[in-house]
Structure 1
Amino acid sequence: MRSRDHAREPLLNTTAPRSGSEHYLLIQTLTPAAQSPLLALTRRVADSGCALGDARVNTLGADVSVTLLAQGAWDAVAKLETALTRMARDPDLHLVSYRSGPRQPQQHLLPYLIEVIAADRQGVLAEVLDFFAERQISIEQLGSQRYQAMQTGAEMFSAQITLGIPAELHIAALRDEFLELCDGLNLDAVMEPVKY
């Protein structure tokens, strides 16, 4: 974002000494991709005495979305909030932040990865998501994109979705239902457990 920031490396894995209980601040920004605030944000997190618990960056069209979860002592999080208020004065930067909390363990949810590829058509992602919503299966992560196939130039769609499947669901039956849906929609799909 600023030339002086480019000379310094972001400290994505910085840990700071903690005093008292841990506090969390969720930060979301949208800005033109050429002005990505990632480096400036990670520097503010480190300078405030917070650590980065999670970070996500996505370029969507001409813009970039940065989502960070900072954690630290109450005073460190308050210092970070003050720094973010100053950053938010930039008219090209859309910044939202709020106090959050740690994610509660979800031991009853099994992580599965879905990959879908198809000829692009309107509403295909909504139909896939509706299948899981009807079964109360949570979407943990999602990435989708449209692109042109190199060989033919055909308009294509692909999605990678990480699910949290309730442990009481019968996985083989769910997989069969999902693949039957995909056959009906003419989608090529894979469903497999996340191996990490």
Structure 2
Amino acid sequence: MLLAAGKRRQVCWLRTFRAPHGAPPRNTELTDPAARPAANENHLLISAYTTHPQSPLLAVTRRISDSGCNLVDARLSTVGRDVSVTALATGSWDAVAKLEAMLTRLEREEGFKLVWYRTGPKALQSNLLPYIVEVVAADKPGILFQLADFFDRQGITVESLHSSRYRAMQTGADMFSAQVTIGIPANMHIAALRDDFLEFCDHLNLDAIMDPMKF
């Protein structure tokens, strides 16, 4: 009898806290809808610059390793007399904070020019088809601008680019070259785009090709 009475009192207590009709059930997940980031979801984008023959590559990658972060992506280039490194590091919040402190000391003690800020991973773009564009022409002002303007008007993204001006070994002529990786929307008619691009290049007297990336 005492056991039955205990059960009856328990049922009454539960009824007292029953949610109103139409209200969502009590759930701890609903009280804190903001998802907590995973431990390795913190990203830091770093750009470092110095004068050739020095390079910021060793110093930056060492700090990334020593802080406990992981290197996701990196680029090194020499433009004029300057060497630049762009790196994307990821790690826990504490590791990224430690890396930021290390970069502050590196900039102060070794004289590198550094820029860094927190960012996020690149979103997947499965609707874009990667293509390679290569352009060679006699150098003249505005070629790169014209190329960028053409792709922008077509709604095509420029994923990576390398362009340079050089003197032809055989003739001494000043030349322009560019290698561009672009993202073409999957619903775009490739043959029509290629025709428009080649017509555009003919108008500017550019020698160019546009091919799909095969890797």
Pick the structure with more helix per residue: 2
Aligned-CA RMSD value: 1.2
Deviations 1:120-159 (A, max 9, x none): 0000111111100111111100000000111101000000
Larger radius of gyration: 2
Shift of 1:90: 4.5
The answer as to 2:202 corresponding to 1:179 is no
Instruction: Give matches, 1:17-166, under 5 Å.
Output: 20-90=39-109, 92-166=111-185
Q: Report which structure shows greater RCO (CA 8 Å, sep ≥6).
A: 1
Distance 1:160 1:127 in 2: 14
- Unmatched 5+ residue regions in structure 2? 1-37
How far has the Cα of 1:21 moved from its partner? 3.9
The gaps in structure 1 that reach 5 residues or longer are 1-18
Could you tell me which amino acid in structure 2 is paired with residue 52 of structure 1?
Answer: L
Amino acid at match of 2:59: A
Runs ≥4 residues deviating over 4 A: none
In the alignment, the residues of structure 2 paired with residue 49 and residue 92 of structure 1 have an alpha-carbon distance, to the nearest angstrom, of 23
Partner of residue 14, structure 1:
none
Equivalent-residue separation in structure 2 for 1:53 and 1:113 (angstroms): 23
Aligned residues: 178
Which secondary structure state, in structure 2, belongs to the residue aligned with residue 78 of structure 1? helix
Residue 29 of structure 2: aligned partner:
none
Kindly, what percent of the aligned residue pairs are identical?
60
Cα distance per residue 1:82-137 (max 9 Å; x no partner) = 10010111574210000010011000111011000000000011111110011111
8 Å contact kept, 1:30–1:94: yes
SS of the residue aligned with 1:179?
helix
| Counterpart-to-counterpart distance in 1, 2:101 and 2:148 | 38
Q: 1:121 to 1:90 in 2, by over 3 A?
A: farther
Is this contact kept in 2: 1:32–1:92, CA < 8 A? Answer: no
SS at match of 1:180: helix
- Distance, in Å, in 2 between the alignment partners of 1:21 and 1:145 is 37
